[in-house]
Amino acid sequence: MTFEEVIGQTDAEQRLLQLEREQRIPHAMLFCGPEGCGKMAVALAFASHLLGDSPMLRKWEHPDLHFSYPTVKLPSMAGDRQPVSDDFAKEWHQMLLEGPYFTMNRWMQAMGAANQQAIITAAESDEIARKLSLKSNQGGYKICIIWLPERMNPASANKLLKLLEEPPQQTVFILVSEAPEQLLETIRSRTQRIELRKIDTPSLEQALVERRGIDGEVAHRLARTANGNWNKALEELDAGNENVQFLDMFIMLMRLAYTRNIHDLKKWSEVVATFGREKQKRMLVYFMRMVRENFMFNFRQPELNYMTKAEENFSTKFARFINEANVIDIAGLMDRAVRDISQNANAKIVFFDMALKMIVLLIRK
């Protein structure tokens, strides 16, 4: 994996290479940035650069490169056993070979997870400590890439903190985070933050043309709609992508709330309650984006909107119902629903409550 394979992010590349040239590579770095911007791609490229050109990196099986990531407990696992990354090493390496741009949903599918929340366990932190206590196999750096460290449970986070306070010799930790604010402040303070921006539209457009063979005009619209998110750009190429279903559920919720159809709102709540919790959270995040897009649609400035054609068609008539009087409260209502679902609240109650409150919010002007 080289930096040439990363889409955009030249600023981050130059900063990392400068740290190496000046021999100032920190023992722990926190890669942050919006979803789909290529944080893992940059992490893999930098790790490959530090470890040198090795055939082992082609399959991500270098003995001095370690990965840690969220896992789930499968029914086949013993009752008192905590899952660790090595339990899913085959699935992880297969996913990396398919490309460094992926989502939590993709990883959950690879693990065969059902209605579960993936976490990094305390047993996993013990495994990291054990592996990094060994000497470097190749005599250089030992690198540990931790994907989504915000999913560490408290015991795991505290054990990682001890490792960061007293890191093994010649070890570099790269934490790749979607939500760094959820990490312990003590962990954040012991890392050097590398902030990645959204992929610039020209780079995204160029990648769609060169890597996917998309026509220039189509690539331009896709790149704008994706708004710096390569994963989203790829999703839009798939006519059956999840966002199509989410748009249908959003339209149904708003229409039923506007007509005050409580009976069918209850049915709607029961349907979305059958989704897995991770999917429910993704749906709510999509809903919040649609609220933002519809609010901005009212300003009649196309450069402010990032919607697909189907989303625009709905917003043409619906946008007027999202205004200064209700936009903040609607977004807050959905944000609280994400929090409640994350805390394992009863999904039927959470979504029905949200649907009933939407009736009141939509009539505000």
Query: Band of the pLDDT at 217, cuts 50, 70, 90?
Result: confident
Q: What is the total count of domains within the chain? A: 2
Range of the domain at 269: 243-363
Which CATH number characterizes residue 53's domain? 3.40.50.300
For the segment 11-57, what is each residue's pLDDT rounded down to a tens digit? 999 999 999 999 999 999 999 999 999 999 999 999 999 999 788 89
**Residue 239 scores a pLDDT above 60:** no
The domain boundary, picked from 140, 165, 197, lies at: 197
**Residue 240 scores a pLDDT above 70:** no
Q: Is the same domain home to 29 and 122?
A: yes
Which amino acid is residue 216, in one-letter code?
A: G
Q: Is residue 217 part of a domain?
A: no
Q: Is the same domain home to 127 and 255?
A: no
Q: Is residue 213 part of a domain?
A: no
Closest CA to 231 of 240, 218, 241, 221: 241
Q: Is the same domain home to 273 and 179?
A: no
Q: Is the same domain home to 260 and 326?
A: yes
Q: Is the same domain home to 254 and 188?
A: no
Q: Is the same domain home to 52 and 174?
A: yes
Q: Is the same domain home to 156 and 268?
A: no
Which CATH number characterizes residue 352's domain? 1.20.120
pLDDT at site 75: 86
Closest CA to 335 of 298, 303, 297, 292: 292
Q: Is the same domain home to 285 and 173?
A: no
Q: Is the same domain home to 171 and 263?
A: no
Q: Is the same domain home to 183 and 292?
A: no
134-144 mean pLDDT: 91
Q: Is residue 221 part of a domain?
A: no
Q: Is the same domain home to 49 and 191?
A: yes
* Angle of helix 242-258 versus helix 309-318 axis, rounded to 10: 10
Query: In angstroms, rounded to a whole number, what is the distance separating the alpha carbons of residues 346 and 352?
Result: 10
Q: Is residue 278 part of a domain?
A: yes
Q: Is residue 137 part of a domain?
A: yes
Q: Is the same domain home to 163 and 253?
A: no
For the segment 306-359, what is each residue's pLDDT rounded down to a tens digit? 788 889 999 999 999 999 999 999 999 999 999 999 999 999 999 999 999 999
Query: Band of the pLDDT at 242, cuts 50, 70, 90?
Result: confident
Query: Which residue's structure tokens are 């599918």?
Result: 109
Q: Is residue 136 part of a domain?
A: yes
**Residue 285 scores a pLDDT above 60:** yes
